């Protein structure tokens, strides 16, 4: 029998019991894949991270990410939360502050995360997306998408934004929704969901609208991925990376650095804010950066 330490954090929030909850299991090198999957099902959070020894001495750790259903190569809130946790565990505050670089080995590749911690405040972590978004796959007609979400076709799309698939490590269906009222009413609509989304090879459906709960935020989002064991996600950093593909395609941003806040999780009572930085150079999308706060909530042990 082995006893492993774990921590839980709330990510993309500066307060406990909001944001997206994450479990991080430490010293998980001895676990088999089936054991990690079983532990992820037991936590039953959107993702659980298993921290292992890094393959390169200069790196901080290797991490594997599991939903209750399967392993994924990359995810945003596990990256933010794990980096914030490791920074806190490995390097205590000096004169009330700490800046650290945490280098994480993931299935998608090496991800470098900058962490800023200050006494009395939530840690803030930020990383450059390891892959830029690319169009991937074809979605069904609007009426089928609308039926899958329990909406009417006229509620799908706004301005020139239309539904598309983008991949940036994970592939999502990006569905623009006309109003905040409509996106609040959206749901996984029984058998209609399968024909709308499960046959497309996507991780889930990411809905977004420009109408927001808070002034100063750019998009209000929801993400459903029942086929991955995630009925709804409170904050989806990897999908926010893909969202920049739609922003680049439809909004035609000028060269320079553009900062946006994406709000998510409000319908779940888990308000989250994802800091999105988009860098355009020569008319091309060159960098996507994801940032957010993280706070520790619980710690304990698991006996295997």
Residue 295 corresponds to which tokens in the numbers above?
């706070």
Task: Find tokens 């650095």 and name the residue.
Answer: 257
Q: What's the DSSP call for residue 96? A: T
Q: Contact at 8 Å (CB) between 213 and 263?
A: yes
Half-sphere exposure of residue 72: CA atoms within 13 angstroms, side-chain side: 31
Query: Which of 42, 47, 135, 267 is the catalytic position?
Result: 47
Angstrom distance (rounded) from CA 41 to CA 35:
10
> What does the block give as tokens for 212?
């927001």
The torsion of the CA quartet 189, 268, 9, 77, rounded to 10 degrees, works out to: 50
Query: Strand 256-264 to strand 219-225: parallel, antiparallel, or no bridges (unpaired)?
Result: parallel
Catalytic annotation present for 47 = yes
* Residue listed under structure tokens 């490791």: 86
Which candidate, 80, 138, 132, 82, places its Cα nearest to that of 108? 132
276, 208 in Cβ contact below 8 A? no
Q: Tokens 């088999």 correspond to what residue? A: 32
> 256: which residues sit within 8 A by CB, 6+ positions away?
279, 280
Which amino acids are annotated catalytic?
47
């Amino acid at each position: 029998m082995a006893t492993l330490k774990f921590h839980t954090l709330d990510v993309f929030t500066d307060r406990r019991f909001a944001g997206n909850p994450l479990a991080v299991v430490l010293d998980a090198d001895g676990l088999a894949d089936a054991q990690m999957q079983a532990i992820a099902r037991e936590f039953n959070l959107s993702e659980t991270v298993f921290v292992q020894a890094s393959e390169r001495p200069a790196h901080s750790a290797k991490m594997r990410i599991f939903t209750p259903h399967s392993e994924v190569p990359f995810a945003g809130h596990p990256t933010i939360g794990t980096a914030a946790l490791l920074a806190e565990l490995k390097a205590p505050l000096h004169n009330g502050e700490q800046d650290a670089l945490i280098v994480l080995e993931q299935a998608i590749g090496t991800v470098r995360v900058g962490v800023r911690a200050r006494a009395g405040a939530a840690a803030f972590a930020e990383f450059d997306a390891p892959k830029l978004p690319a169009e991937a796959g074809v979605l069904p007609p609007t009426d089928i998408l609308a039926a899958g979400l329990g909406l009417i076709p006229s509620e799908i799309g706004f301005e020139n934004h239309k539904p598309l698939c983008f991949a940036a490590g994970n592939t999502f269906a990006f569905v623009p929704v006309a109003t905040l009222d409509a996106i609040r009413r959206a749901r996984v609509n029984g058998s209609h969901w399968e024909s709308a989304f499960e046959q497309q090879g996507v991780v889930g459906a990411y809905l977004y609208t420009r109408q927001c709960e808070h002034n100063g935020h750019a998009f209000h989002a929801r993400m459903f991925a029942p086929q991955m064991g995630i009925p709804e996600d409170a904050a989806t950093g990897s999908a926010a990376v893909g969202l920049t593909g739609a922003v680049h395609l439809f909004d035609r941003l000028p060269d320079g650095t553009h900062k946006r806040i994406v709000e998510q999780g409000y319908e779940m009572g888990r308000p989250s804010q994802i800091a999105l930085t988009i860098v355009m150079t020569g008319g091309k999308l060159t960098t996507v950066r994801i940032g957010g706060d993280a706070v520790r909530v619980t710690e304990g042990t698991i006996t295997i």
